Amino acid sequence: MAQDAALSAVFEPVAPLTTFEETVDRLGTAIRLGILPPGTRLPSERELADQLDISRSTLRQAITTLVQSGHLHSVRGRGGGTFVALEPPLARAGERLRPDWREVLDLRLALETGAATLAASRADPATLEQMRECVALMASQPDFDDYRRADIRFHILLAQASGVARLVGLAAEVQAELSGLIAHIAHPQEVLAHSNGEHARIVDALATGDETGAVGLVRRHLEGTEHILAGLMP
């Protein structure tokens, strides 16, 4: 009975604002906890998209991410489908996540949404151009380490755009702690491309002085990172 209830929760409709990230979170967590055991065949794409109340394109993105991270695998042809990997990434001895990881993400959320509030009215063209250069670099970097360096610079520049010098140092400290968390998960290209699309929209909102839009985009972006961490964490 408890297993049935847990399985039903996995396939409840996904909230609309973070559909991609929450789908990865929902399915990845279910696999890690054994609610979806190794070898389980997922419902068909049409059925699963209907159950989760998301578009089939969003579902495909999430499935691709979970395939690339080793949680799922796809089989073509007769009797094929999408299956939970026989040995999905699970917690292993010696690979403990720091216990305050959610606090690190909360600190980042408070810092960067505050920075975005100020940056919407204070960001100078030179800083915005540097942020766009970071976006372009991330779009062109297949290597995650190079992507991550540009990502770190982007978020530090967001703090710089606020005009509050002390925020820059704090942002750098938080990024250092975040790198330790990100090291625990896979880095599928689907996730990186999705994340970088949000970077571009954040810069656009700042450039037009759209404070509400910028803060909302930053919040969604950072909460998306939390969902991905929760869903893909080994």
Segment 128-165, tens digit of pLDDT: 999 999 999 999 988 888 999 999 999 999 999 999 99
pLDDT at 32 over 70: yes
Find out whether 151 and 133 touch, Cβ atoms under 8 Å: no
From-to residues of CATH 1.10.10.10 in the chain: 7-84
Does the pTM surpass 0.85? The reply is no
Quickly tell me which residue has 């999430």 as its tokens: 62
Angle ∠(175,179,184) on CA atoms, nearest 5: 150
Residues of the chain with CATH 1.20.120.530: 101-232
Instruction: Decide yes or no: CATH 1.10.10.10 for domain 7-84.
Output: yes
Residue 65's nearest CA partner among 234, 184, 231, 223 is: 231
Q: Does residue 130 sit in helix, strand or coil? A: helix
Superfamily of chain region 101-232: GntR ligand-binding domain-like (1.20.120.530)
